[in-house]
Every structure is written in C-alpha cells, then in structure tokens.
Amino acid sequence: MHPDPIVEAKVQDLIYRTEKYGKKIKMRPSKRDRSSLEQFIKTKEQADLFMKMLKMA
Amino acid sequence: MAVAVTIDFRNTYQVEPVSDDYRISKFNTILKDGTSEELKIKISNNAHELMPNVYNLAFGPEDDKGKINDKAELPHTDYSRVFSTILLEAYTYLRKHKTDSIGIDGSDMNRAILYFRFIQKNYDYLTGIFNIYGLKYYVRITRFGKTQYQNPFDFDDIFLKPQLIEKGEKINFDSLYNYFVFGLKEQLNIISL
C-alpha cells in the first residue's frame, strides 16, 4: 500500500478500471534484443570506431 | 532536454488502461503549442534476457504501425506530470506483479543522463517505494593487437553489474549506467541474474 492515501486511491482506481475495461491482448514477443551490443554494431567500421573510442577512454 | 522534473504521484494525467494485464496503457499529454498528444506505455511481456524478472517499459507516441517511438522528443507543458504518470503506471504494475521489476532503457547518453538526474533529484520520494538499480553493460574484448580477431567483441560473455543507486552518487557520465531497474521496496526485491 502506498503511504499517501490519495496516491493509494489513484492506484486502486487504476486497478479497478484496468480489470473492468482492460482487454485481453496477446502481445507478440519483441524482436528487439536489448541484451547485447550486437544490435548497434553491425559493420566492421562501427566495430573499429568503437574500438578506437575504447582505446581513447 | 534540460528540464527539472519533480516526481509526484498526486500530479498525474488520467491513464486509460488498454490491456487487462497492466502492460499496455495510454494517456494524453499537453504540448507547449496547446495540442494534445497520446502517449502509450508498454511493459514487455518478455523478461530481459539476462535478468529473468525484469520487464522493459517503453513509452512514447505511436507511429503509423502502432509501434512506440521511444526516440520522440516532445515539448511537454509539464514534464513532471508526464514522468509521474509513467512511474505511477509502473508502480501499479508492480503492485500486481510483485516479483517483477521494471527496466527503463537509457537508450543513448542524453537519456541516460536525464534519467539519472531524475532519480537523483527525486531520490527520497522514489526510494520510499522503489529499490532502484543502475546497470552497466560490459562486453569482453577477445583480443587487442595485431592478432585481433575480426570481431573483437564476445557478445556471449556480457557481464551485468546491478548497483543500488545511492543518494548524491557522483558518477562520470562516460561510465554512466545505461539501464535502470525499479523494484518494489516492500518486496525486498533482489534482481536475479
């Protein structure tokens, strides 16, 4: 429970409205992999630039 | 975006739930030109690959395909209200999913600095209800020098080091956290790796 009763009332209102009006939506798995740098480093040039930055650091 | 944000869960926009599992919702923000813009909040249904109980929260306007544009920079009239709304939604989600944590990606340096400053400015308010961790991603470099491999990065050996963010913590922006994790304080949430 939130220590501020006004905030707690807002939370309970949101819970009530979510359970009453929220729809069953099947979300597809995200294609975006946030766990590695592979998504950012695609080319040799990018890898070289990253290496250069590492050496300067 | 150099703005001072004060998080206050009393000062939020009305959120409209979309899904019944608390993962998708929408609200309208007022922009500086007086127009209204709908923002979508989406909490992933896939746990972070390296943190089984951490679910990513994204927010922003939807593009033509219904995807969140989390790079959009909108001129809000009340940034405090926008971010308070997003964090109240995260808090409500955590109340219903008490073993989960919410992850927010500082997708670039500017965002990471912004979020870190938000957390520091509102530290007492936020840590009254959340445990907040900062994460840095590290990637092993397989070899330096003449015999360096063609791809020097070992992406299979990523090391995550979650750290409880401390009040007034000084950190060099070059080595700033790039991912922030919020867990409910009351659950003594421990990030499992």
Inter-chain touch B44–A30, beta carbons under 8 Å: yes
Q: What pLDDT does residue B154 have?
A: 66
Q: What pLDDT does residue B23 have?
A: 95
Query: Where does residue B100 rank: exposed (0-12), middle (13-18), buried (19+ CB within 10 A)?
Result: buried
A17 chain-B contacts, CB cut-off 8 A? 16-17
Span B3-9, mean pLDDT? 91
> Any idea what DSSP says for residue A30?
P
Amino acid at B91: Y
Dist. CA B13–CA A19, nearest whole Å:
19
Dist. CA B102–CA B141, nearest whole Å:
29
Under a CB-based contact definition with an 8 Å cutoff, are residues B181 and B135 in contact?
yes
Among the listed residues A39, A36, A35, A33, the one whose alpha carbon sits nearest the alpha carbon of residue B51: A35
Which residue on chain B is closest to A22 by alpha carbon? B20
Span B97-122, mean pLDDT? 90
Q: Does A43 touch chain B (CB under 8 A)?
A: no
Q: What pLDDT does residue B140 have?
A: 65
pTM for the whole structure = 0.80
A51 chain-B contacts, CB cut-off 8 A? 141, 152
B181 chain-A contacts, CB cut-off 8 A? none
Handedness of CA B38, B111, B153, A40 (dihedral sign): positive
The pLDDT tens digits of the residues spanning B124-183 come to 999 999 999 998 876 666 665 655 556 666 666 666 678 899 999 887 777 788 889 999
Retrieve residue B152's tokens. 């020097």
Give exposure, B156-189, as e/b (b: 16+ Cβ within 10 Å). eebeeebeebeeeeebeeeeebbbbbbbbeeeeb
* Strands B16-17, B24-30: pairing kind: antiparallel
B105 chain-A contacts, CB cut-off 8 A? 34
Inter-chain touch A4–B10, beta carbons under 8 Å: yes
Q: Which of B12, B24, B174 sits opposite A57 (nearest CB)?
A: B174
The pLDDT tens digits of the residues spanning A3-55 come to 999 999 999 999 999 999 988 877 665 555 444 455 566 777 777 776 776 66
First to last CA, chain B: 33
Q: What pLDDT does residue B60 have?
A: 94
Residues from B in contact with A at Cβ < 8 Å: 9-10, 12, 15-25, 44-46, 48-50, 56, 88-89, 91-92, 95-96, 105, 128-129, 137, 139, 141, 150-153, 155, 158, 174
The pLDDT tens digits of the residues spanning B14-57 come to 999 999 999 999 999 999 999 999 999 999 998 887 788 999 99
Determine the 3-state secondary structure of B37 from DSSP. Answer: strand
First to last CA, chain A: 46
